[in-house]
Amino acid sequence: MEKMQCLAAFLLATSAAFTRASPVNVPECTLEPLTKDHGVKVFYTTSRVANGCTSQGPTDPSLEVHLLFLRFSSPSELFSLQINVSASAEKANRRSMFVVSSNAYVHLTVNTEGCHLTFITTTRCMVQGANIETQQTNLSSSSEELLQQTKKDHGGISSFAELENPRQIHFHLDGEPSSNQDCVPEKNFNADPYLEFEVASDNVKGCPSSSGNPQKEAHIVWLQQDPQGSSPQSVDLNIEQNCDEGEPENQLPTLLVLKSHTGVTWNIGQMFDSLKFLVSGKYTMKKFGAVQMPGVDLPDSKEGLLAESRSKEFAFVASYTEITSAKSITLKLERVCGRQATPVTEKPQMEGVSLESFMQGLITTWKPWRCLDSGIEITLAKDYLRQALFENVTKVTDVTLQDRSCKATDNNTHFILRSKLRECSTYLERDVVVKNQLVFSLHLLPGEIMVPFECDLPEKVFLQLYPSPDFGSEPTTVVEVNKATYVQVQFRTTDLRAQLQIEDCSLQTADKTSSQLLIGGGKPLSYSATFLDSPSSTISRFSFVYKSGEEQWAASPATLLCKLHLHSQLHGDHYNETSLEMTFKTSSTPSHSLGIGTVLGITFGAFLIGVLLTAALWYIYSHTHIPGPMAKMQPVAENPPASESSSTNHSIGSTQSTPCSTSSMA
């Protein structure tokens, strides 16, 4: 009840002020664009973009790709822009990619609220924030060409929005995919509910040169958005009076004219005593609760609104702003403020940031480097360096890495520096984090400015063979037949909690006759395959023995093909295939077991040797035997008679034909 009484008293005072007004002798108002010196700024948030569309997204259902094209009315300036990205718990692990292009140099600060994002930008955009991966590339300066290129690169996109003069962007990843087959841009597209952004209006006008009564001022805001069916629309309106010091000396009588269609409810925030207002549609005042009050009918033209202000004796229109669509509007007024009676002491000057600290912050935020397996690529736009370093003070004359012999080339527009990994004093941490530092030489300044930097190599899977179980020797691509070969599969990633699991591995020969399935379903399937202890969750090791077929020692060449299950924070769960070309060679060490072919060979050789030996013995026997019947053997008496003995001796002696025998007989 008390609030209603206060509200009634306020409305009575407001209406009384208007009934006393007289339109006579009020000068005309000629609108002119306002500059920042006039002390009036208008900001608003909206979901209406200059051009935009949505579609079902890329061919990969686990990926979202959102394209943002930023257009600024002053492309030669450097802008700071904040992007807030939110997602529900069930969608926080979804892969989300933002492709951002701009016609001006932009410093993007990203707040991710726990979700991991990838930003692909031009060299004009610098991205800073936690849990994000950034890539810089050449993107088209045409929004239409950029849209087509992004569709081609990713097999479609989830959303596209062209934003004019944004100051802050809020992006919600909780929306369901669109049913549109293709993303076809529409002008004045409504990106609600997944996107809204804050804009500093560049269409603020006023009539400062025709101020008839500078002790009074009017501010007119015409919200021109169309009614959205029967759904109610509400707009928050806030007024801020800013003073560098103290409080405003006098509260100027101020008239606020809020024009919209009748379906809009204005929620008016901060108030001050000398404020009067005219509102179309309905309105509430936060200081009096949620009580809705009816508005008044206001003209549907610029001239009519100016005349309405003059009729209330507010001929000095300090600002007139037309806004296409808005969810909230903030009117900031710079006032002449009173000084306190205390003696004024000289304001201490703020301690300046050193040039070295400034350069380190500038380059670290910019991140102009890119790390690949082929090496480091660094691209520095000279225009941006000139603007950031204030061209009238100093400029960059030379850029090198920590090894001063690794010097950037100057092509008049950019400093470009390329080097291989592990060169130019580059250090690799865990074989994935690349570390070095940029060294800048500045015109007319002594010494150098060093900016340490690091970047991550892209996630990659390595499949390698080793000849020994300690995995300490150099990798090989040669497999010795009938001997153990040791295999290591490594998942290179910065995620220390990533995991790798081998699902299937097979050894495939060129003729397909000796292929072996080594691992299937995460388990060894071949008697010769064995899992080994692995040093981390991103490395898996096993061994196998290749046994040749019965008719051959080995087939050459061959391929080891493995299917892997990978998990990381960057890409979530996904599968990957990797392969390695190899050749076989016969082991130089005799095998402990002989194949059937070997056994048959040895048997046949022994048989052949036996046949040849038998034939040789028969040949010798047949050529050395004396022909005729064999002499009959006579029994030998123990004591033969003397006559027989001499007869026998004579017989034997007569048969000897050798000289020795003849000599003996004589």
Q: What is the pLDDT of residues 262-277, one digit of tens each?
A: 889 999 887 777 788 8
Residue 297 has pLDDT above 70, yes or no: yes
Percentage of the chain modeled with pLDDT above 90: 33
> How many Å from the N-terminal Cα to the C-terminal Cα in the chain?
176
Verify that 141 and 169 share a domain, yes or no: yes
Verify that 444 and 464 share a domain, yes or no: no
Verify that 471 and 436 share a domain, yes or no: no
Residue 324 has pLDDT above 50, yes or no: yes
Of 552, 585, 618, which residue constitutes the final position of a domain? Answer: 585
Q: How confident is the model at residue 293 (pLDDT cuts 50, 70, 90)?
A: confident
Neighbouring residues of 31: CB distance < 8 A, sequence distance ≥ 6: 205, 206, 207, 302, 306, 317, 320
Using CA atoms, how far residue 256 sits from 204, 268, 281, 319, 355, in Å, is 15, 11, 14, 10, 46
CB 375 within 8 A of CB 420: yes
- Indicate the average pLDDT of the chain: 79
Neighbouring residues of 143: CB distance < 8 A, sequence distance ≥ 6: 51, 69, 71, 101, 162, 185
Verify that 131 and 223 share a domain, yes or no: no
Verify that 494 and 377 share a domain, yes or no: no
Instruction: Dump the DSSP string for 44-87.
Output: EEESEEEEEEE-S--SSTTEEEEEEEEE-S-TTSEEEEEEEEE-
Residue 544 has pLDDT above 80, yes or no: yes
Verify that 429 and 468 share a domain, yes or no: no
Instruction: Please give the pLDDT value at position 488.
Output: 95
- Please report whether residue 110 resides in a domain: yes
| Most confidently predicted of 235-244, 328-337, 348-357, 495-504 | 495-504
Q: What are phi and psi of 116, to 5 degrees?
A: -95, 125
Instruction: Please give the pLDDT value at position 246.
Output: 60
Instruction: Please give the pLDDT value at position 25.
Output: 47
Nearest-Å Rg of the Cα atoms of the chain is 47
Instruction: Dump the DSSP string for 84-127.
Output: EEE--GGGTTSEEEEEEEESSEEEEEEE-TT--EEEEE-TTEEE
Verify that 474 and 435 share a domain, yes or no: no
DSSP 407: B
Residue 253 has pLDDT above 90, yes or no: no
Verify that 149 and 227 share a domain, yes or no: no
Of 456, 474, 491, which residue constitutes the final position of a domain? Answer: 456
The secondary structure of the chain in percent helix, strand, coil, rounded to multiples of 5, reads 20, 40, 40
Q: What are phi and psi of 647, to 5 degrees?
A: -65, -40
| CA distance linking residue 141 with residue 71, whole number of Å | 10
Q: Among 47-56, 377-386, 568-577, 640-649, where is mean pLDDT lowest?
A: 640-649
| CA distance linking residue 309 with residue 287, whole number of Å | 25
Q: Among 227-231, 346-350, 528-532, where is mean pLDDT lowest?
A: 346-350
Query: Average pLDDT in the 20-37 region?
Result: 64
CB 329 within 8 A of CB 260: no
- Please report whether residue 624 resides in a domain: no
Instruction: Please give the pLDDT value at position 249.
Output: 56
- Count how many domains the chain has: 4
- Please report whether residue 626 resides in a domain: no
- Please report whether residue 662 resides in a domain: no
Q: What is the pLDDT of residues 621-645, one digit of tens each?
A: 776 655 554 444 444 444 444 434 3
Give the domain CATH number at 395.
2.60.40.3210
Q: Among 7-16, 332-341, 388-397, 438-447, where is mean pLDDT lowest?
A: 7-16
Verify that 59 and 187 share a domain, yes or no: yes
What domain range includes position 487?
A: 460-585
Q: Is 32 helix (H, G, I), strand (E, B) or coil?
A: strand
Of 456, 472, 507, which residue constitutes the final position of a domain? Answer: 456
Neighbouring residues of 398: CB distance < 8 A, sequence distance ≥ 6: 407, 408, 440, 441
Q: What are phi and psi of 559, to 5 degrees?
A: -135, 130
Residue 421 has pLDDT above 70, yes or no: yes
380 vs 447, which has greater pLDDT?
380
| CA distance linking residue 348 with residue 339, whole number of Å | 18
- Please report whether residue 284 resides in a domain: yes
Q: How confident is the model at residue 350 (pLDDT cuts 50, 70, 90)?
A: very low
pTM of the predicted model over 0.85:
no
- Please report whether residue 7 resides in a domain: no
Verify that 62 and 173 share a domain, yes or no: yes
391 vs 389, which has greater pLDDT?
389
